[in-house]
Amino acid sequence: MKMRPGTQTGFLLCGKEWIEGEALEVRSPWDQGLVGRVTLATRADARQAVSHAVASLRRTRALPRWKRREILEDVAAALIEQKERFAQLIVAEAGKPVRLARVEVDRAVLTFKTAAEEAARLGGESIPLDLTEGNEGRWGLVQRFPVGPVLAITGFNFPLNLVAHKLAPAMAAGCPVLLKPAPQTPFTALALGEVILKTGWPDEALAVLPLSNADTAWLAEKEDRIKLVSFTGSARVGWELKARSGRKRVLLELGGNAALIVHSDWPDLDDAAHRTAHAAFGYAGQSCISVQRVFVEESIFQPFLWKLVEHTAALVTGNPADDATDVGPIIRPADADRVETWVREAVEAGARLVAGGERRNSVLTPAILTGTQPGMKVRDEEVFGPVVVVEPYTDFEEALAEVNHSRYGLQAGLLTRDAGRILTAYRELEIGALIVGDTPAWRLDPMPYGGVKDSGLGREGIRSAIDEMTEPRMLVMSGIR
């Protein structure tokens, strides 16, 4: 059964079985039209999927490296061939502007290609053990083995590449996977699962389960045959899930309110404002590393602010299916309500709305605020909407302190040419990555990715995730001449 937008009923992919049952409606963020209906998995389905995964572990673990590489390369090739199909799925259910949806497919291709290379390189080391008298002839071998079945839980904002960042490393490591996609965007995940099962990956080693949040939490807490939980989503849900997951390994890629520092020695203020506008408002700010807070050295604050207003005004807001659109809808009406409310609360508390903030259905025009204070939600929390706060600073150390004044610590950007300031920021900022010469929204998929504080636990990025999904095992040899 092909998964595509439409009013047909969707099905649950479990092994290679398509199971009918209670349907969950998926609606377009743009016009609330029906995208399709997908079967909601039950706890019994989840238990069966775990049993399949456990039974398949011997097969996935035994897959030779060349075969894992071949499977992952075949997935990448299929994504290239079906690029437009996947891009249209992302537009339909996520409301992502189509140009950005095509970029997401390209990123997923890179993710699977990189995983293929890492699968071939996955190795170990030999350790000499004849280091003390009486241990002559002893030596050791360390290799990495898959931890076992992985429960992967993904968010809505990158319905293909977030899923790829769970599945590709797990497949490279030899781990069976149960994937719980976001309820807003299940069709892209189901379509990717369908592609994977045509490549030679063992049928029972993949299940795509549109579970309720309650049943997902139950699965993480009660099903001890799952060995690792990898979650992307909100901080509140992620830390609660970790608390309930017992002795399982847990990887958390959570939220952020990413900051950018713009210092007066940066040579191209217009380019800085252009980058900031796209990094803050692309896909309506619905990325963990969208620019949310900008701290600008006082002497260039006003010129930067008005250039940012100018570049923001040039962005096209509207239908995500149009090639010209930069800013589409917020994922759900309730989320649009929340973002609009936070902006209004900030203005009522004394902030100044410089541009945007107008609401039409689920679309909010990009909002630029200044004069904000700590304690305002638009400054302290993760907005996950098209809102940016711009504030001046007089001292560079003050700017660093402002960046750190957050319960999040995912990525930050720094625009300066001063090596001393760069090294100071690298040392002092409490973040997972510092992006110098660009905004914190920049990311390349092979790099280690993750944060500190409420932004998460562990690292994604293919090589890092493979390390998390495998465990070293020691072999000691003795008495062999």
The set of catalytic residues is 253, 288
C-alpha to C-alpha distance for 277 and 386, rounded to whole angstroms: 10
C-alpha to C-alpha distance for 96 and 94, rounded to whole angstroms: 5
Angle made by CA atoms 330, 433, 69, in degrees to the nearest 5:
85
C-alpha to C-alpha distance for 354 and 351, rounded to whole angstroms: 9
- Tokens, residue 426: 């690298």
- Tokens, residue 289: 């590393």
C-alpha to C-alpha distance for 89 and 86, rounded to whole angstroms: 5
Residues in contact with 416: Cβ distance below 8 Å, sequence separation at least 6, in sequence order = 261, 263, 265, 266, 422, 436
C-alpha to C-alpha distance for 162 and 230, rounded to whole angstroms: 11
The CA radius of gyration of the chain, in Å to the nearest whole number, is 24
Phi, psi dihedrals of residue 38, rounded to the nearest 5°: -120, 145
C-alpha to C-alpha distance for 440 and 152, rounded to whole angstroms: 25
Residues in contact with 420: Cβ distance below 8 Å, sequence separation at least 6, in sequence order = none
CA torsion, ordered 232, 236, 239, 243, to nearest 10 deg: -130
Tokens 């973040």 identify what position?
A: 431
Instruction: Let me know: does 447 contact 463? Beta carbons within 8 Å.
Output: no
Which residues, in sequence order, are bridge partners of residue 208?
Answer: 13, 179
C-alpha to C-alpha distance for 370 and 352, rounded to whole angstroms: 5
Distance of CA 82 to the CA centre of its chain: 22
